[in-house]
Amino acid sequence: MRSPLTPEMATQEVQLNETLAHLKTESETLKTKLEEERAKLHDVELHQVAEKVEGLGQFVMKTRRTLKGHGNKVLCMDWCKDKRRIVSSSQEHAVTMPCTWVMACAYAPSGCAVACGGLDNKCSVYPLSLDKNENLAAKKKSVAMHTNYLSACSFTNSDMQILTSSGDGTCALWDVESGQLLQSFHGHAADVLCLDLAPSETGNTFVSGGCDKKANVWDMRSGQCIQSFETHESDINSVRYYPSGDAFASGSDDATCRLYDLRADREVAIYSKESIIFGVSSVDFSLSGRLLFGGYNDYTINVWDVLKGTRVSILFGHENRVSTLRVSPDGTAFCTGSWDHTLRIWA
Amino acid sequence: MAEGAKEPVGVGTTDPEEDSPNMIVYRKIEDIVTRIQDENAGGVSIRTVKSFLSKIPSVVSGADIVQWLMKNLSVEDPAEAIHLGSLVAAHGYIFPISDHVLMLKDDGTLYRFQSPYFWPSNCWEPENTDYAIYLCKRTMQNKARLELADYEAENLARLQRAFARKWEFIFMQAEAQVKIDRKKDKAERKILDSQERAFWDVHRPVPGCVNTTEMDIRKCRRERNPHRVKKSVYGVPDDGQSQPSPVHISSQPTKKTTKEDVQKEINFLNSQLDRHCMKVSKVADSLMSYTEQFMEYDPFVSATEPSNPWISDDMSFWDLEASRDPSQQRVKKWGFSLEEALKDPAGRDQFLKFLESEFSSENLRFWLAVQDLKRRPLQDVSSRAQEIWQEFLAEGAPSPINLDSHSYERTSQNIKDPGRYSYEDAQEHIFKLMKSDSYARFLRSNIYQDLLLARKKQPADTEQGRRTSLEKFTRSVGKSLTGKRLTGLMQSS
């Protein structure tokens, strides 16, 4: 029960509200100004410039391997740097974890460990062993602690740091050995669903996407958000850098994929079709960045010509939602995981 | 059949969660099915079909639906239209009148449209009591077409066991429903019965069929009324024993925008306004030239040499990549940028080798050391940072690097509290230095050119052109310094 307002408090409250309203107006004005400034640089469309690029031929992409081993929905997968091994997680277990819905998993760069987590709000690292009898669960190391589900995790260029995103609206960078929080990233207004590290050797940035329809680019050193993009109409389920690191693609529940260029600071392409009405769960680029692969909730994979903006191919095969999609490190294939309990390798 | 079968029953009409992911899809599908049924606006003709002794009201053929989808949604491939139509069916918006399996066929198979009352957007989560009433009522009606399928009979048996104590209640409810149904017009009943069955096909699918009501648990808590009191299909009051949905509830309250939040936003917007951005035309050119440059390396766009192992089952491609004896194509990539050269371990090795031959390797070694520093566990960072200072920057350092005074000042300040990023400025400066100076010389060097032009040190081999890359490197195995490692690789593969 609140105590009755004194006249001074009442005035203060009114003043605060006025200031808040005043600030909001200032913010709106700045937003409009920024949009205007950026629009001046929008002198042409990417697909127009790309008209002079030679068209791609017919593609023959097929399932080359089907991996059946999970007893439930496959939610996430990652490639090992050796280009041949993968780790995947599902609704029941990953590496004998005692909880359902393991939504994130990642391979360590050395190939000697995997990280995973989900509804347990944690990210744990498991060493890998060729010895089948070894009890890996006992050797697990709890690294990250969030206050809501873990949506994605990724090792930075070493086995020693992990970057995580969570339903609690934050991302965080952790030291694996000590479990210490090195940096946290605040700015999303809702669950963060995905992240991707910039491919640069020296870069210290990453991009995240969330249920607030925003994609944010972060400086890992300072924890600051350095760029933000908000053009999607629904949750952003997946973000992935273009191989040069100058742009990134996103996939959303609004059934579109989009390309954002960091130097132009705007969306430069949108990949959509009238007949595609189900959300995109996962996106990744081919090695040159010419193709964008999207896994969709309508069980298909759509392959897009990144420059021309057209769809190059639609791939059928999965019998339920495609929940995860990743191109192999050497670009020779991509792997998809699905709610139909299987993983497929396409080439 | 429940009362009020005409209008959609929602849990509140003004709904802030209309934009939840599932709703977005439902609304799109609803737009499609509304358009398909609109005969005045290019929709399919829904008609009554005569069949033996009876009439089948309100149906349309699968082929008609496929045609409509192709024409109105710009779909060129019938397979795609069939797939989309099957999804529309699987979500319960259209259904075959003589099958429980919700998929679309591009032939004369007859389909009907689902009543908006039963649309998934109404957030039905029917209880097993409702399902039991439904199956029970089916057994009371003496009609061949309403006979239970095997899996339904099994379900009914299971429910009878589970609800043994309240079976009398369920039976009575079923009887009441049968009474209500009997009052309806024959044709109307045919339609309603089929719609009701299709509803249950969505919520209690045939074993082996996808249950399209399953939700992504990350999105659950934003569904309308996550703690909703579930409404019964047959108007059965909730006896408090219904299971709550497995919804993942947020543990944090919704945040109100504070003054600080808005101020932060303003600061951010101001910093964005200060940013220098490039024109789209310029970035487009840049994206195009990058892609063009790398397309020959992209296995999805250009055939790989040797063949893609996933396609041919021949691992030579990977064996070649693993060898430190790089192909000309791979060496060419090192010439694209210093980044590309350093990305490839072989490129890094060769660049280092070149610099060592010039006695100027300290810059690269410093750069590599800083990279390594950033990858260390936290507890090692401080000591390692100190070591780097001693090796490269301190007075009388054994491998002194050339830093401008500004970077040197900054770095020596940083090192007082050594951290992972203490050398960022210095590293950036050194990288630029290498890029403009030693990298360019490296590309002109014999070390690089020999590899790029595949100039071998052995006597001229006129047959070289005809051998495959694999054969070439097999030949050089004995002569290469890494030969021992490679033979090990060959033996184990």
pLDDT one-digit tens code per residue, B384-417: 999 999 999 999 999 999 899 999 999 999 999 9
Residue B475 reports pLDDT greater than 60: no
- pLDDT tens per residue across span B296-335: 999 999 999 899 999 999 999 998 888 768 889 999 999 9
Q: pTM of this prediction? A: 0.89
CB contact under 8 Å between B288 and A200, yes or no, is: no
In sequence order, which residues have a C-beta less than 8 Å from that of residue A86 and are 6 or more positions away? A77, A78, A79, A80, A107, A335, A343
Radius of gyration of chain B from Cα atoms? 36
C-beta neighbour count of B474 within 10 angstroms: 16
Burial of residue A63 (number of CB atoms within 10 Å: 0-12, 13-18, 19+): middle
Distance from CA of A137 to the nearest CA of B (A): 22
Kindly list the strands in the beta sheet with A63-68, ordered across the sheet, starting from the edge strand earlier in the chain.
A63-68, A342-346, A334-338, A322-327
Task: Tell me the average pLDDT across B226-244.
Answer: 68
Nearest by CB to B25, which of A148, A178, A279?
Answer: A279
Distance from CA of B272 to the nearest CA of A (A): 7
The one-letter amino acid at A344 = R
Distances (CA, A) of B324 to A81, B337, B348, B473: 16, 20, 11, 10
C-beta neighbour count of B74 within 10 angstroms: 10
- pLDDT tens per residue across span B361-371: 999 999 999 99
Q: Which residues pair with A161 in a beta bridge?
A: A175
Residue B206 reports pLDDT greater than 60: yes
pLDDT recorded at residue B220:
82
Note if the bond before B246 is cis, omega within 30 degrees: no
What does the alpha-carbon distance between residue A106 and residue A117 come to, in Å, rounded to a whole number? Answer: 10
Low-confidence stretches of chain A (pLDDT beneath 70): 1-5, 10-11, 13-17, 92-99, 130, 132-134, 136-137
Q: Tell me the torsion sign for CA atoms B340, B343, B345, B350.
A: positive
Most confident of the following: A23-32, B80-89, B137-146, B415-424: B80-89
Chain B hits for A300, Cβ within 8 Å: 83
The one-letter amino acid at A93 = H
The CB-based long-range contact list for A308-315 (8 Å cut-off, 24+ gap) reads A308/A47, A308/A50, A308/A51, A308/A53, A308/A55, A309/A46, A309/A47, A309/A50, A309/A269, A309/A270, A309/A271, A310/A47, A311/A271, A311/A273, A312/A56, A312/A59, A313/A59, A313/A61, A314/B77, A314/B80, A315/A61, A315/A346
pLDDT recorded at residue A99:
54
pLDDT recorded at residue B260:
87
Nearest by CB to B265, which of A27, A44, A316?
Answer: A27
Least confident of B32-46, B236-250, B361-375: B236-250
Cβ density class A219-248: b for 16+ within 10 Å, e for less:
bbeebebebbbebbebbbbbbbbbbbbbbb
Residue B51 reports pLDDT greater than 70: yes
Residue B1 reports pLDDT greater than 50: no
Give me the residue label for tokens 């890094």: B348
Least confident of A260-264, B259-263, B467-471: B467-471
Burial of residue A306 (number of CB atoms within 10 Å: 0-12, 13-18, 19+): buried
Nearest CA in chain B to A292: B300
Label residue A96 left, alpha or beta by phi (over 0 means left) and psi (-120 to 50 means alpha): left
pLDDT recorded at residue A305:
98
B425 or B485, higher pLDDT: B425
% residues pLDDT > 70 (chain B): 82
Chain A hits for B279, Cβ within 8 Å: 41, 43, 264
Instruction: Check: CB of residue B209 under 8 Å from CB of residue B151.
Output: no
Distance from CA of B311 to the nearest CA of A (A): 7
In sequence order, which residues have a C-beta less than 8 Å from that of residue A236 and are 6 or more positions away? A193, A194, A209, A210, A211, A213, A214, A215, A250, A251, A252
Closest CA to A232 of A216, A248, A255: A255
pLDDT recorded at residue B451:
94
Size of interface A-B (CB pairs under 8 A): 267
Task: Tell me the average pLDDT across B418-430.
Answer: 93
Nearest by CB to B73, which of A161, A254, A275?
Answer: A275
Upper half-sphere CA count for residue A106 (Cβ side, 13 Å): 29
Chain B hits for A264, Cβ within 8 Å: 277-280, 282-283
What does the alpha-carbon distance between residue A260 and residue A209 come to, in Å, rounded to a whole number? Answer: 12
Q: Which residues pair with A215 in a beta bridge?
A: A209, A229
CB contact under 8 Å between B210 and A101, yes or no, is: no
What does the alpha-carbon distance between residue A265 and residue A228 come to, in Å, rounded to a whole number? Answer: 8
- pLDDT tens per residue across span B207-217: 999 999 998 99
Nearest by CB to B25, which of A24, A65, A278?
Answer: A278
What does the alpha-carbon distance between residue A79 and residue A107 come to, in Å, rounded to a whole number? Answer: 6
Pairing of strands A301-305, A291-296: antiparallel
Structure tokens at A96: 């004998």
Nearest by CB to A254, which of B24, B287, B297?
Answer: B24
Residue B459 reports pLDDT greater than 70: no
pLDDT recorded at residue B241:
55
B470 or B118, higher pLDDT: B118
Indicate the average pLDDT of chain B. Answer: 85
pLDDT recorded at residue B2:
39
- pLDDT tens per residue across span A242-270: 999 999 999 999 999 999 999 999 999 99
Give me the residue label for tokens 């195995």: B477
pLDDT category of residue B251 using cuts at 50, 70 and 90: very low
Residue B238 reports pLDDT greater than 80: no
Chain B hits for A286, Cβ within 8 Å: 298-301
pLDDT recorded at residue B147:
84
Distances (CA, A) of A271 to A256, A267, A304, A311, B23: 6, 11, 7, 8, 21
B343 or B1, higher pLDDT: B343
